[in-house]
Amino acid sequence: MINLMEGTNTRALIEGGISNNFEEKIPEPFEKVGEKYYYFENKETQNWFGAVEKCRQIDGHLINLQNENELVNVAPKLSSSQEYWTDINNLHKRNIFFSLTTGREANMLNNRSDNKVNRCGLIQYDPSNSNFNVTKRNCFQKKNFICETTQPTTISILLW
């Protein structure tokens, strides 16, 4: 903890690199991958709703992929024999997939039409191109899942 006492030149401390003394504490049971913190559940399977609840129990949410680069970052941590739930679903509107985390249209699945209801997004390995991709399944199937957390939170303080 930094104690800014009377007579301390705060600007000199900051410019002198005191900000390097702050340690980033990764919340249990998450691990840092790229710029985010994830928990990869490879043993216990849940339907999509159960996976949502399990993530909430550890102060997280199902993985919210913003772009292909985030998928590339987590891919080395995944098993090609498993499928992993994401936060994407079409529970509100049949042909539009939304992120449960943000409430916005999902970036990853909305280019693919699907007239079936109760579809949720998951990450699976595609042997035809040797990559992981995002696809959809019936939300009631049991799959592995990935939780994400927004902790730790970084704040900026401006002193003048």
Instruction: Report the 3 state secondary structure along 87-123.
Output: EEEEEEECCEEEECCCCCECCCCCCCCCCCCCEEEEE
68 falls within a domain: yes
Interacting residues of 149 by C-beta distance below 8 A, sequence separation 6+: 27, 30, 37, 38, 39, 58, 59, 60, 61
156 falls within a domain: no
21 falls within a domain: no
The pLDDT score that the predictor gives to residue 142 is: 98
pLDDT at 1 over 50: no
Number of independent structural domains in the chain? 1
The pLDDT score that the predictor gives to residue 9 is: 61
65 falls within a domain: yes
89 falls within a domain: yes
Q: In 3D, which of 125, 153, 120 has the Cα closest to residue 50?
A: 120
pLDDT 10s digits, 4-26: 445 556 555 555 554 454 456 77
pLDDT 10s digits, 26-55: 778 999 998 899 999 999 999 999 999 999
158 falls within a domain: no
9 falls within a domain: no
113 falls within a domain: yes
Domain CATH code at residue 134? 3.10.100.10
| DSSP single-letter state for residue 23 | P
Q: In 3D, which of 85, 91, 57 has the Cα closest to residue 143?
A: 85
Q: Which domain holds residue 123?
A: 27-149
Give me the chain's average pLDDT, please: 83
Average pLDDT over residues 92-105: 89
CB-count burial class (<10 Å; 0-12, 13-18, 19+) for 125: middle
